[in-house]
Amino acid sequence: MISAVVVTWRGDALVAACVASLLAQRVPPDEILVVHSNLPRELGLPVPVLQLGKNLGFARAANVGVRAVKGHPLLLNDDTVLDPDCLSALIEAHQKNPQAVLQPRLLLPDGRVDNQGHGFFPDAFVWARGRGGPDEVIPGQPAGFSGAAVLFPRELWLDLGGFDERFDSFGEDVDLSLRLLRRGVPVLAVPEARVLHHLGASYGRSSPDKIFRIERNRVRAAVRSLPASALALLPVLTLGRYALLGGLAALGRGPGATVDREGQKAALRGIWAGLEDSRDWWEERRGDRATWQRGERQMWAALWEGRVRAEDLWRGVA
C-alpha cells in the first residue's frame, strides 16, 4: 500500500498540479493526503486535506502527514509533478528492495537534472547528484535522499521517528540520510521514476534564510552522525569546502556562484547557531549508537563512496 503525502504551505496552483499528477498515475497511490501547514483555508482540491492551522515547518508537517496515512509514505514537496509512470516504477523497485529508501529522478523545468539523490562532503554538506546535467542515468547510488520526493518503508520511517522536527526546514533530509548511513540502510536511485521539480519555489535557491538554515542544520546533523574523527576536523573540513566553493565561484561556477555577501554572512550565522546547541545533538548521538551498524571506518567508507561528484560542483546551479 502506497500513500502519497504532499506537504504545502502556499496551497496554490503548484500543489494542485502535484495532486493532478498523482491522480493521473497509471498505477495510482492507495491514498493521497495533502498536509497544509498554514492558516486553514479551502484549497479546492479533490483529495483529503489535513489543515494544521499554522505553519509548523516542513519536518513536523511531514511527520504529521505520515502518521495520518496507512501505507508506505511517498513524501512529496508541493512543487513536484510526477510523470504518469513514476509510481509504477517506484512500486516495482519497492517490491524488489522492500527495506530500501527509494529516490526518484528529479528534473528541472528546462529538462536538466535537479538531482538523483545527494552526495556528501566530509563536513556533512550535501550537493545534488547530477544537478544541471543532461537527463540521463547517473552511475552509482546516492549517499542521501532528497526530501522533495522519496519513498520510505513505513516501518523504517516509524522506527527512525521520521524527520527530527527541530530542523524545521532544510537539513532534515541530511540528518535522516546520515542516520540511514549509520544503520546501513540503502538509498537506491530509481531513474525510471521521473519527477518534475520547481526547485526553490518556496525559499528561493540562494536566499540568506535558506543558507542560514542549511548551515545550522548541517552542523547539527554532523554532530549527531559523522565519524568522531570528522568532528575533530570539522572546522578544517568546512574551511576546505569554503575554499573549494569560493575558488569555483571566482570562476563563475559551482554552488557558491550565486551566493552574495548577505548569503555568506548568513552561512556564518548558521554555523554559529549550530554550534550553540551542539551539546543537545551530542546527546542524540549517544542515544543513536545502539542502532548503528556502521562504525567509524565503515562510515568513512560510505561517505567516500557517496561523495559529491566533481562534475556536479562544476555545473553548480547554472
Residues 56 and 171 in one domain: yes
Encode pLDDT of 153-173 as tens digits: 999 999 999 999 988 778 899
Does position 185 have pLDDT exceeding 70, yes or no?
A: yes
Same domain assignment for residues 139 and 231: no
Q: Which of 197, 226, 242 is the last residue of a domain?
A: 197
Q: Which amino acid is at 271?
A: I
pLDDT digits (tens, 9 = 90+) for 15-35: 999 999 999 999 999 999 999
Instruction: Tally helices (H) and strands (E) across the chain.
Output: 12, 11
What average pLDDT does range 262-284 have in this prediction? 89
Residue 156 C-alpha cell reads as: 523504517
In a domain, 71, yes or no: yes
Give the CA distances from residue 59 to residues 40, 65, 129, 303, in Å, rounded to whole numbers and listed in that order.
Answer: 18, 10, 22, 24
Same domain, 235 and 111: no
**pLDDT > 90? residue 46:** yes
Residue 203 lies in a domain: no
Bridge partner list, 62: none
pLDDT in tens, 209-247: 889 989 999 999 999 999 999 999 999 999 999 999 888
pLDDT at residue number 174? 95
Decide if 244 contacts 307 (C-beta within 8 A). no
Residue 130 sits in a domain whose CATH number is: 3.90.550.10
**Do 276 and 152 fall within a single domain?**
no
106 and 22 both lie in a single domain: yes
- Asked whether the predicted pLDDT for residue 146 surpasses 50, the reply is yes
Residue 274's pLDDT band, with cuts at 50, 70 and 90, is: confident
The domain in which residue 289 lies consists of 208-315
What is the pTM (predicted TM-score) of this model?
0.92
pLDDT at 289: 95
Of the three residues 163, 197, 231, the one that is the final residue of a domain is 197
Q: Distance between CA atoms of 65 and 163, rounded to whole angstroms?
A: 12
- Per the structure, how many domains does the chain have? 2
Do the domain assignments include residue 20? yes
pLDDT exceeds 50 at position 318? no
Do residues 111 and 256 both lie within one domain?
A: no
DSSP-assigned letters across all residues of 260-306: -HHHHHHHHHHHHHHHHTHHHHHHHHHHHGGG----HHHHHHHHHHT
**Together in a domain, 253 and 180:** no
* pLDDT greater than 90 at residue 78: yes
Residue 205 pLDDT exceeds 60: no
Residue 110 pLDDT exceeds 90:
yes
The answer to whether residues 242 and 273 belong to one domain is yes
Q: For the segment 247-266, what is each residue's pLDDT rounded down to a tens digit?
A: 888 888 877 777 778 888 88
Pair (174, 247) in one structural domain: no
Can you give the pLDDT at residue 202? 52
The residue among 159, 174, 197 that closes a domain is: 197
One domain, residues 13 and 85: yes
> Which helix (DSSP H) or strand (DSSP E) does residue 179 occupy?
helix 172-183
Q: Are residues 39 and 159 in the same domain?
A: yes
Q: Do 299 and 253 sit in the same domain of this protein?
A: yes
